[in-house]
């Protein structure tokens, strides 16, 4: 089955550039903020499903998730956000821990995500050994399952995880929690190379990118630059919904400029 993300990556490759993926949790800010990110150059949007125990998320995203949960954000709100993003013309994927999906019902969530126009789902804490029900439901609904590999993953593990992915493989650039960093990871290029030895899927690198120079650096060796904490911080520091949309758009334009700066041979 053809990945719904394939066209986006193919278009970026045809332009000899990387793909920019931007994350925000649903319920933190109105749909207009997501639209501003897209208008400014984000190619794929990760819509976070707020969860009370975000084990790999750093303090910035934890603060945002807490605020979204306090506002009463539900999985239905996440799906409505996916619908809104999809209407902008770019793919939307949900980023979620596994427990909320089990509580919702795996088959039901897959069906509802597909009905909302979602392209797939990133599941950071779902292991291949426990992924059977999700893989079956995703295949039935034409959704892209996206799993994470880390610098600590063995070659065997990288191959196993990559074989289960569609859309792209998510390579975490560092060990530890999410968060913008002053420098990009020295381990990330090697991890991307290891993934490419076992799959033809695009490889996206996330955790740590916060500015145009870092985005350009990552775009030099990865197919996608994934940015989360920097977008979340921009929204958290804004004084109003309108200011949040402006801040997210400004950051998206800067990052998109970085991604497009590194033209590939």
Q: What amino acid positions are annotated as catalytic residues?
A: 46, 57
Tally Cβ neighbours within 10 Å of residue 126.
23
Which positions ≥6 away from 193 have C-beta within 8 Å?
A: 221
Tally Cβ neighbours within 10 Å of residue 244.
23
DSSP annotation of 2 = -
70/90 Cα distance (integer angstroms): 29
For residue 203, what are the β-bridge partners? 169
Classify residue 107 by burial, with Cβ atoms within 10 Å: 0-12, 13-18, 19+: middle
**Order of strands, sheet of 44-48, starting from the edge strand that comes earlier in the sequence:** 144-146, 120-122, 92-95, 44-48, 19-25, 224-227, 203-206, 169-172, 148-149
Q: Quick one: which of 49, 46, 78, 45 has its CA closest to 64?
A: 49
Which positions ≥6 away from 33 have C-beta within 8 Å?
A: 24, 235, 241, 244, 245, 248
Residue 25 has phi, psi (to 5 degrees) of: -75, 145
Q: What helix, strand, coil percent values describe the chain, rounded to 5?
A: 50, 15, 40
């Amino acid at each position: 089955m053809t990945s719904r993300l394939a066209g986006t990556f193919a278009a970026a490759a045809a332009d000899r550039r990387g793909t920019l993926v931007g994350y925000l949790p649903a319920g933190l800010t109105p749909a207009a903020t997501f639209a501003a990110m897209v208008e400014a150059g984000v190619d794929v949007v990760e819509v976070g499903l707020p969860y009370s125990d975000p084990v790999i998320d750093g303090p910035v995203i934890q603060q945002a998730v807490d605020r979204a949960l306090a506002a009463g954000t539900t999985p239905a709100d996440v799906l409505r956000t996916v619908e809104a993003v999809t209407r902008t013309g770019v793919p939307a994927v949900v980023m979620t821990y596994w427990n909320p999906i089990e509580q919702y019902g795996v088959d039901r969530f897959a069906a509802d995500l597909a009905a909302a126009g979602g392209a797939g789902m990133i599941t950071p804490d779902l292991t291949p050994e426990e992924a059977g029900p999700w893989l079956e439901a995703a295949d039935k609904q034409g959704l892209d399952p996206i799993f994470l590999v880390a610098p600590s993953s063995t070659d065997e593990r990288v191959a196993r995880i990559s074989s289960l992915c569609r859309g792209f493989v998510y390579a975490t650039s560092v060990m530890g929690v999410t968060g913008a960093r002053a420098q990009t990871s020295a381990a990330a290029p090697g991890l991307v190379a290891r993934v490419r030895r076992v799959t033809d899927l695009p490889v996206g690198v996330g955790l740590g990118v916060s500015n145009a120079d870092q985005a350009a650096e990552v775009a030099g060796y990865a197919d996608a630059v994934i940015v989360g904490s920097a977008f979340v911080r921009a929204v958290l520091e804004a004084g109003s919904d309108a200011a949040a949309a402006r801040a997210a758009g400004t950051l998206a334009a800067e990052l998109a400029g970085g991604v497009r700066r590194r033209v590939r041979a």
